[in-house]
Amino acid sequence: MDILILPLIQVIFGLLILMASAEWLTTTSVKLATALGIKPVIIGLTIIAFGTSAPELFVSLMAAFEGQADIAVGNVVGSNIANIGLILGIGALVCPFAIPSRIARIELPFLIFSLFCFLVASFRGYIGRSTATLFLVVFSAYLFFLWHYKRGLLADTEPGPATLALRERPRYLLRAFLITISMIGLVAGSKFLIVGSVKIARFLHCPELIIGLTLTAIGTSLPELASTLSAARRRQGGLIIGNVLGSNFANTCAVLGITGLIKPLQINHQILIRDLPVMVVMSLALFPIMKKKHIKRLEGLLLLIAYLFYIMLLYLKT
């Protein structure tokens, strides 16, 4: 067991650096964008959206460069399953909430379409640069559509940032420097997490795909869990479901798109026959919940049980 101590320290240290760097990157970028006069809606659709998926992106990129494609793809699939079963399940257990009708009209259809694209790529067994480009085009179309939708709602309510921009101007360089440090932290945290995870997998004779689907996936989903618990305490149900669906969509299209564009990925056949169906079924299970426009504790408990059952089967089969 002494051999496991160093890898466990590397995993924990990597997760702590990832969470701190992602939070620092998001908050600093928002302040800088606000000071530069960028509208709040644009900040929400870009900086915050990418900030919450930054751990998944950097872990997948680092794993791809290290030749660990199973961890890179498994991290995305496992994070999507964890976001629905674990994060949304816990959020509903803590505080049942109403679901805004626009979620079913906008976010959920985009998410299902992204899963269809991922399904096609999985049948091919490969995410090349052409497939990665398609993912990024779908993600860009979503941002463009959502920006126009929200701009119509917020056009007359957004305050002018001129005064703030003048006050914050001397801090531009400092915040740009902090953003750079945050990016370095994301790279370093990802490196620690990947190295420690691979060592644990080899020591336990556990496939690296399983580690990607569980250990790294849950670890990179911790920022979503923290924001979900915070939103649950404030009874902001729309923020919970929006965070989960938005994160899953960003994981599938942006994370796999950017990673596949830089470093094409092989997709393990086990993902197609075992894990992808679980991700699709859990995503489709959201439709009847959305139809009722309310998620109760019982439904949250069922989602959580389904996720724990999935994790148990993974390790029992291993």
Segment 107-154, tens digit of pLDDT: 788 888 888 889 888 888 989 999 999 999 998 888 887 777 655 544
| 221 φ/ψ angles, rounded to the nearest 5 degrees | -90, -5
- Given a cut of 50, whether residue 252 has pLDDT beyond it is yes
Amino acid at 278: V
Q: What is the pLDDT of residues 173-187, one digit of tens each?
A: 777 777 778 878 877
Q: 269 vs 28, 112, 177, 252, CA distance in Å?
A: 40, 21, 42, 18
Mean pLDDT, the chain, integer: 80
pLDDT of residue 157: 44
Selected residue with higher pLDDT from 206 and 243: 206
From CA 241, how far away is CA 252, in angstroms rounded?
Answer: 17
Checking if the pLDDT of 92 tops 60, the result is yes
pLDDT at 200: 84
pLDDT of residue 77: 94
Looking at residue 151, its pLDDT comes to 57
How many Å apart are CA 290 and CA 98, to the nearest integer? Answer: 9
Q: Which of 24-28, 165-169, 276-280, 289-293 has the lowest mean pLDDT?
A: 165-169
Q: Is the pLDDT of residue 76 over 90?
A: yes
Rg value, the chain, Cα: 19
Return d(Cα 18, Cα 190) in angstroms, integer: 7
Identify the CA nearest to 48 among candidates 134, 117, 143: 143
The pLDDT value recorded for residue 112 is 87
The predicted structure's pLDDT at residue 187: 79
Q: Are 261 and 124 in contact (CB under 8 A)?
A: no
Q: What is the pLDDT of residue 42?
A: 53
- pLDDT tens digits, residue range 49-66? 566 677 888 889 888 888
Query: Mean pLDDT, to the nearest integer, of 300-316?
Result: 92
Looking at residue 217, its pLDDT comes to: 86
User: H helices of the chain, where?
Assistant: 2-35, 40-43, 49-65, 69-82, 89-94, 101-102, 108-124, 129-154, 162-168, 172-203, 208-211, 217-220, 222-233, 237-249, 256-262, 269-270, 276-284, 286-292, 297-317
Which of 16-25, 211-220, 292-301 shows the lowest mean pLDDT across its residues? Answer: 16-25
What pLDDT score was predicted for residue 159? 46
| pLDDT confidence band for 277 (50 / 70 / 90) | very high
| pLDDT value at 302 more than 90 | yes
Cβ–Cβ under 8 Å, residues 221 and 83: yes
Q: Look at residue 170 and tell me whether its pLDDT is greater than 60.
A: no
- Per-residue pLDDT band for 166 (boundaries 50, 70, 90) equals very low
Q: In which band, very low, low, confident or very high, does the pLDDT at 28 lie, cut at 50, 70 and 90? A: confident
pLDDT of residue 194: 81
Per-residue confidence at 43, pLDDT binned at 50, 70, 90? low
CB atoms under 10 Å from CB of 120, counted, come to 11
Q: What is the pLDDT of residue 246?
A: 81
Angle at 87 between CA 82 and CA 92, to 5 degrees: 135
CATH homologous superfamily of 2-317 equals NCX, central ion-binding region (1.20.1420.30)
| 276/299 Cα distance (integer angstroms) | 22
Report the alpha-carbon distance of residue 36 to residue 166 in Å, rounded. Answer: 9
